[in-house]
Amino acid sequence: GVMEKLGLGPEVLLQENPRLIYARLTGFGQTGKYAKSAGHDINYLALSGVLSKLGRKDENPYAPVNLLADFAGGGVMCAMGIVTALYERTKSGKGQIIDASMVKGVAYLSSFLWKSQNLGLWNRPRGENLLDSGAPFYETYKTSDGKFMAVGAIEPQFYGQLIKGLGLDSDKLPNQLSFSDWPKMKKKFASIFAQKTQAEWCSIFDSTDACVTPVLSFDDVASHQHNKQRSSFIKNDQEEISPRPAPLLSRTPAVPSFKRDPFIGEHTEEILLEYGFTKEEITKLYSDKVIEFSNPKANL
């Protein structure tokens, strides 16, 4: 209801411009019991059902920071909705309103979990399944220098290379998919990974298809050889590192800015002036707390 209070709701603006795409991105959506309630990523994730699947055996569910509901189920799904509406407009010539709920967005994002329930991937309690830390071959392991390796050797041929790299004899091990042996195998793998440094394990597995990779910290990720070769991270003029825009388009790749991130409100004045607002109108918007400034050069 914030935009309605400003007289800028979709009903008003779509009358002015019937081609307008009006996106409403909220946690719980525009309707329903919680529509006007406050919430955060963890709440939206909980209501979607996804949170119940995240966590180790015998532990509480955990939220993976705020990436899933806020950014994936929210921002990315909303952006996809906008692109879809823009494409539809090329045929109809009409705009529309997008109700982008983070709860529904992250629930839809989890369609794989729903559709694969009968495949045997998720029929055990949380933390005991193939992809949720139950399997010894889909797990992270600590190295002797306190770092970690990520293991994702699901397919038999990849699992075989994992076993070989760990120096084990597959003939003396239980079947890869013997669920009852998974806890014992995890302990065995953990004890072996703890005997070498991350760099040593990389030298063993880097040239293989064992699906074993280092868990890189933010301090290390930009200097890793693969990421350097891909130019996956960039430095701005303040020497701050951030990911390069993705995905990479062949004809029209994104051109990243190497300037520091703007402060909230830093360009408010110049943009409004550019759009024809007078300084008096901008001052009124500021005094009414409709806009804010973080630019010390603002001279209203």
Residues with a known catalytic role: 40, 70
Spatial distance between the Cα atoms of 248 and 255, rounded to a whole number of angstroms: 10
- CB-based contact 269:293 (threshold 8 Å): yes
Token reading at 62? 């955990």
Length of the chain: 300
Cβ-proximal residues to 236 (8 Å cutoff; 6+ apart), any chain: 242, 257, 258, 259, 260, 261
d(CA 70, CA 101): 10
